[in-house]
Each structure stands twice: as structure tokens, then as C-alpha cells.
Amino acid sequence: MKAIITSAVCSSLLLLSACSDNDNNTPAAQSSVEAPQKTALASGIEKANMDTNIRPQDNFYRYINGGWMNNHKIPADKTAIGSFYDLRDKADEDVKMIIEELAATEGLKIGTDEQKVADIFRSYMNTKQRDAAGITPVQDILTAIQDIKSKDDLAKFFGTYSTAGINNPLALYISIDAKDSSSYAIHIWQNGLNLPDKDYYFNEAERFVNLRKGYVTHIENMYNLAGLESGKDAAQNIMALETNLATYHWTRVQSRDSEKRYNKFATTALNELTDKFNWQAFLAAEKVTNQKDIIINQPDFIEGFGKVFDETPIDVWKQYLTFNTLSAFSSYLTTELDNENFDFFSKQLNGRQEQRPQWKRGVSVVNGNLGEVIGKVYVARHFTPAAKSRMSELVENLRNAYGSSISDLEWMSEDTKKAAHLKLAAFTPKIGYPDKWEDYADLTIKSDDLVGNIIRSRKVSSDKGLAKLGGPIRKWEWHMTPQTVNAYYNPPANEIVFPAAILQPPFFNMKADDAVNYGGIGAVIGHEMGHGFDDQGSKYDAQGNLRNWWTEQDLKEFANRTQSLVKQYAGYQVFDDLHVNGELTLGENIGDLSGVTIAYKAYKASLKGQEAPVIDGLTGDQRFFMGYAQIWRSKIVEKSMRNRVATDPHSPGEFRALGSLSNMNEFYDAFNVKEGDAMYIAPEKRVKIW
């Protein structure tokens, strides 16, 4: 059982930018500034990262970040570096110190949070013990697979072992009902593939052909390393099975559509989709038989799955589940299995050349299973009340600016504006950390049972999900830990969430002038607010219900403007043979454009009619836009970038910066962008939505 969260600021992330001194490259506004500096606050602009050989009017991203790009290489154990990744490294170091202090402590009382953190870390770091155990820790699951005698047994296995993390074609999860935001519902999402996307099974380009060959070899290798027979036969069968499933998968663009995804069925009527699968056995194993309804996100897939389920022999399903078991636990079993899993999924698929240090992987295990235990200590050490207070003030300033912008929209009717204002007023901001922490009392952790720890943790998480059914919405619940460098908007809850770890430079700098903070964290706040009004978030009302609140004419005008954004981003070239997918990234691009537009408006309002101070020879407007561009600083290896363009709803970082700023008249004024410059878009073609 898994949770699906809608819209994080950077689920996978980003790219690169640059700056200049000669007369042609210096912004016109800058040359006229001679007033003395009036504040001791720093500019917050990382000038050492700039490339002043690049004109800001041609590529502002590389002007701001190009020096850094030229001087930094991606280490062998990473696929990307940059602003987000630097903060993630820092968060890992901070969490490591907390964990190691506990892990070095003897005599921790069994059952305490401290004991659980220490022992799950110890169990992961004990490679010698894991190698000696071989595949014994998952032998009970492998035996259960071999005991499957019928298709009904198979359906039961899917439901029983999904909570252990064994991949199958039906991903059942519990989340808020999009058309009744006061209650939870069970959902099913298409699943069952191990390659990143359906296109990987059918694209005939050489890269994809080689990846498919590599995947087949990987399956065989996993079988052989586990000491299992018939690896070659299993590999061919599993690849054929996944390819059949992929035929019926919706594309990622199709799956973005909130309305098309909402398909509520009575649990007793699922046979209308396919009668080839024992739904009652599956739902009983998932412990949700008391639920009357279920939301099917991709009903076409379910119909196709029924055909594949019926036509595929039981023995092939057993091979598939055996491999999925080895794959699910490879990082917790032997070094050989761990390395083989890394070699395909990280090295061949994503271009990572070396494993991350074991301690970093251990930190990820602790964060993934006991995240809020660590979060409590992390917040106490690294997040001040002053930072929370200033962040709260920024959020309200952004909310006010958004409201003002809605009121000023020329293309929107008063009726739709009224509904938009109601939704904006209902936004619930969450800053830094939860008011109520997760309880891990039911989780048993042992220092010598890593796989058991992971299985028990997944089961406790699943049980917490089941406990939501029939109960009130858990408004206190967070879907990211405080030590996560990210942010998100959750449409059915109408909430915007900012974990403590992202509230650091270059996003949020307590020592910097407001301009760079509005350009950094202000744009992030605006981005998450913008998701409430993007092409999908705008389908949810103030209470978080999937309900149209637009007039027909306003909806048509909104669609016209969003399609202009689709076309703009589809023109951005990532590699010679690859462009940004404007449809897949539309929601995030709307969030980015809205975010920086509203953040700028809020920044100007914060000046209360006064001129911003000049700092380091830069005007307030210049610092604002520079602050925005530097948060997207990143470099990504080619293999990983290609995967992200295919699967990630976020545009590469370079285009997140260029695309938004190219649409803002204020940016043109601040940096003297003229017709003929590479970033120039004719005024009548610049996109303004919110």
C-alpha cells in the first residue's frame, strides 16, 4: 500500500545558469545605480558562481550559475549536484550526527525511539551479517510464492504481500476522496513495471533497445546470485509479462488528469472491469473488504490487466514475483545482490558510476522508516523560532499578493474571482515541522534483523493507512519529514507544506536582504500556492473537492493561456534529439510562473512604496531575479536527465528559470532585454496566467 502525494516543488530536479561585466553584458539599470548601500544585510547573491562572459539577456540561468557549472564536476557516486543537492547533503550530515550519537550509545531501553533509530542503523551497516544470511531473510516470501497453486492464490498473494513492498500490477493506497474531502477512500493505481515508464518497453531507439537487453540480463543475474534455477527462462518471461502490462498503461500525461482519474466503483462491481481476477480475495488480503467503494485511477489498465492476468501462466507469475521480491529487498540482502541492483538501476539506467557511501544509504533507511523520530531532534538543532516566524510572515505576504493579483486579472470574471479568493483564503500553510508527531510505538526494530525491520515498518505504515478509513481527516499529518529538502501542495487538503530543511540559503537566508528571499523561498511559496491554481489544482475548490468553480468562458481563456505555456516549453531543447515535454510539465511550469510572478508582487509590496537599497551594486529587482535563478543551479548526468525528461513532471532547472522569467515584463526592465536577445519574447506572446 502506498501514498500518492500531488505536486512537490522538486521531486526530481533541476539544472543550470550564468552573469557579466563588460558594457554589453551589464544590465542597463545597474549602470545608473550609484547610491550608497543603506543596509548591512548581505545581497545573498553568490557572485562566485556567475559567468560574466554570458549576457543575462541571452541566458540568465547560465549568467547566474555558469561559473559554478564550469568549475564543478559530478562525483562518481552522484547523478546530480546543485542547490537542492547541496542542502540534501547537509541534511544527511546533520541526520548522520544524530544517528551516530544514538548508535554509539549502549544500553538503550528496548522499545524506545532512541533504540529503534540506533538498531535499524546498526542492522543496515552490518554488511558481514547480511552477507552471511544470504537470501534467508526473504525465504518465507519465496516459499509463499512457490506455494501458489491457483489464480485465486495469486490474487491473495498480491494483496497480502503488497504491504511488504512486493511489486504487483495493482497499487492499492488510501488517500482523501477527491470528491468528498471530508473522508478517506481506497484507490488503485496502475503498477507492475520495473522500468521507469511504458515507453521504455516499446521505443526502438538504440538507447532503449540496450536498456531492455540490460534489464533481461539483470533479471537473470539476480536469479543466479540468489542461487535460483532457470534464470534465463525467467528473464525472458518476466520481460514479456511486463511488456504486456505496459501495453495497457496510461501515459504520464494521461495520468495527470484529475477528472479522468476519478472513477468510483462499488467494490462489488469490479467485475465490470474484469471478471478474470478474484477481487474479493485481493481486497480481503488488503483488509479493505468493509469498504463499499473504490476509486480506480486508470480503468482501461484494469481491463487490460485482466486479460494479461488470465493469459499468463501461474509459473510465469511466480517468476515475476520471485524477481520482484529479490528486487524489493536487494539493498538489504547480500553485497552481491545490492551491487547487481545498483549496476542496472543506478548505473546503466541513471548514470551513477559508484554506490553512495554506506552511511548515506543508512541515513536514507532511517529517514524512510523512522523519519519523524529524527525530525524532532533535527528541528530542535537546526530550525529556529525566528525562522518559522519570518517564514510565516512571507507566506501571508504571498497570500496577500496572490489575492491582489486575482483581483487585477483582466481575463477573469467576477464570479470566478470570488471562488478563487475563497480557495486562496482556505489555504493551510504548514511550516518547518508537524504540530503532532508520528507514533512508532507499534514498530519493533532489532539490530540483527534488517529485512524484518523493513517489513515490519512497511506493515505499520500500511496499518496506519487502514486506520484512516471511516475516520476524520488527519489534518496534522505530513507527507515529508522536516529534514526533507522539498515542499508540496496537497489538493484535497488544500495545504502548502514547507519542511525545515529547505528553509536555508540559497532559498531562505536570514542574513540576506528581502529581495533574494522573495526570489528564493518566496518563489517556492508562490509555486506551491500556484499548484492550487494550475491546470489540475484549479479543478479543486476551497474545501479540496474535485468540483468545477469556473465559468465556461473563464475556463476556455485559462486553457488558451496554459496551451501557450505548453508550446513555449516544448520548444526548449535538452539535447539535440530531446525536447521538454510541455504537456507533462504543464502543472509545474504554471507553478513556477505563478510563483515567481506573485513573489515579485509580494516583494514590491513589502517595500511599502520605498526604493529598495542598492547592495553590491545591484538593485532590488535585479537581486530578486538573480535570487530566483540561483535556486535552480544544478548539473545532471545525461542518462539521468533523459530519464527525468521522460518521467518527471518538472522541467529541467535551466528551463524552470528561463521559461518563467522570459514571460515577466519586470525582468525585461531589470536587465534591459531587447528584441533580438535570446530570451526575448514579443510582449503579446508572453504568458500571464495569475
CA distance 488 to 510: 22
pLDDT digits (tens, 9 = 90+) for 299-317: 999 999 999 999 999 999 9
296, 297, 301, 306: CA torsion to nearest 10: -20
Position 37 confidence tier, pLDDT thresholds 50, 70, 90? very low
pLDDT digits (tens, 9 = 90+) for 163-210: 999 999 999 999 999 999 999 999 999 999 999 999 999 999 999 999
In the numeric block, the cell 549568467 is attached to 63
Position 42 confidence tier, pLDDT thresholds 50, 70, 90? confident
CA distance 601 to 402: 8
Sheet holding 293-296, edge to edge: 170-177, 180-190, 293-296, 264-266
In the chain, DSSP finds a helix count (H) and a strand count (E) of 27, 11
Q: How many other C-beta atoms can be found within 10 angstroms of the C-beta atom of residue 366?
A: 23
Mean pLDDT of 561-578: 97
Domains 28-89+383-429+487-493+501-685 and 136-332 share a fold: no
In sequence order, what DSSP letters do the residues of 346-392 get, joined into one string?
A: IIITT---SPPPHHHHHHHHHHHHHHHHHHHHHHHHH--HHHHHHHH
Q: Please tell me the predicted confidence (pLDDT) of residue 9.
A: 37
Position 106 confidence tier, pLDDT thresholds 50, 70, 90? confident
Position 622 confidence tier, pLDDT thresholds 50, 70, 90? very high
CA distance 423 to 413: 16
pLDDT digits (tens, 9 = 90+) for 455-464: 999 999 999 9
pLDDT digits (tens, 9 = 90+) for 532-548: 999 999 999 999 999 99
Position 566 confidence tier, pLDDT thresholds 50, 70, 90? very high
Q: Please tell me the predicted confidence (pLDDT) of residue 395.
A: 97
Q: Please tell me the predicted confidence (pLDDT) of residue 104.
A: 86
pLDDT(16) > 50: no
Within 383-531, where are the H helices? Answer: 385-408, 414-426, 450-468, 514-517, 523-531
- Residues contacting residue 106 through CB under 8 Å, at least 6 positions apart: none
Sheet holding 428-432, edge to edge: 428-432, 495-499, 488-490
- Residue 673 identity: V
For the chain, how many residues are written? 690
Q: Please tell me the predicted confidence (pLDDT) of residue 590.
A: 97
136-332 belongs to which homologous superfamily? Neutral endopeptidase , domain2 (1.10.1380.10)
pLDDT(218) > 50: yes
161 torsion bin: left (phi>0), alpha (psi -120 to 50), beta (else):
alpha
In the numeric block, the cell 539535440 is attached to 576
Mean pLDDT of 369-393: 96
pLDDT digits (tens, 9 = 90+) for 636-688: 999 999 999 999 999 999 999 999 999 999 999 999 999 999 999 999 999 99
Long-range pairs of 606-611 with CB within 8 A, sequence gap ≥ 24: 606/397, 606/514, 606/518
CA distance 7 to 503: 18
Mean pLDDT of 545-559: 97
Mean pLDDT of 462-471: 96
CA distance 22 to 194: 52
Position 126 confidence tier, pLDDT thresholds 50, 70, 90? very high
Between helix 586-606 and helix 653-661 the angle, nearest 10°, is 60
- Residue 28 identity: A
Is residue 498 within 8 Å of 430, Cβ to Cβ?
Answer: yes
Q: Please tell me the predicted confidence (pLDDT) of residue 648.
A: 97
649 torsion bin: left (phi>0), alpha (psi -120 to 50), beta (else):
alpha
Exposed e or buried b for every residue in 378-409, given b needs 16+ CB within 10 A?
Answer: bbeebbeeebbebbeebbebbbebbbebbeeb
Long-range pairs of 341-349 with CB within 8 A, sequence gap ≥ 24: 341/222, 343/218, 344/214, 344/215, 344/218, 346/79, 348/211, 348/214, 348/218, 348/639, 349/195, 349/196, 349/211, 349/639, 349/643
Q: Where are the domains of the chain?
A: 28-89+383-429+487-493+501-685, 136-332
Position 489 confidence tier, pLDDT thresholds 50, 70, 90? very high
Handedness of CA 510, 513, 519, 525 (dihedral sign): positive
pLDDT(105) > 80: yes
Q: How many other C-beta atoms can be found within 10 angstroms of the C-beta atom of residue 318?
A: 19
Cell of 138: 526473504
Between helix 60-71 and helix 653-661 the angle, nearest 10°, is 160
Q: Please tell me the predicted confidence (pLDDT) of residue 137.
A: 98
CA 117 from centroid of its chain's CA atoms:
25
Position 364 confidence tier, pLDDT thresholds 50, 70, 90? very high
What's domain 28-89+383-429+487-493+501-685's architecture?
3-Layer(aba) Sandwich (3.40)
CA distance 555 to 481: 36
Mean pLDDT over all residues of the chain?
93
pLDDT(22) > 80: no
Q: Please tell me the predicted confidence (pLDDT) of residue 275.
A: 97
pLDDT digits (tens, 9 = 90+) for 230-284: 999 999 999 999 999 999 999 999 999 999 999 999 999 999 999 999 999 999 9
Cell of 271: 467485475
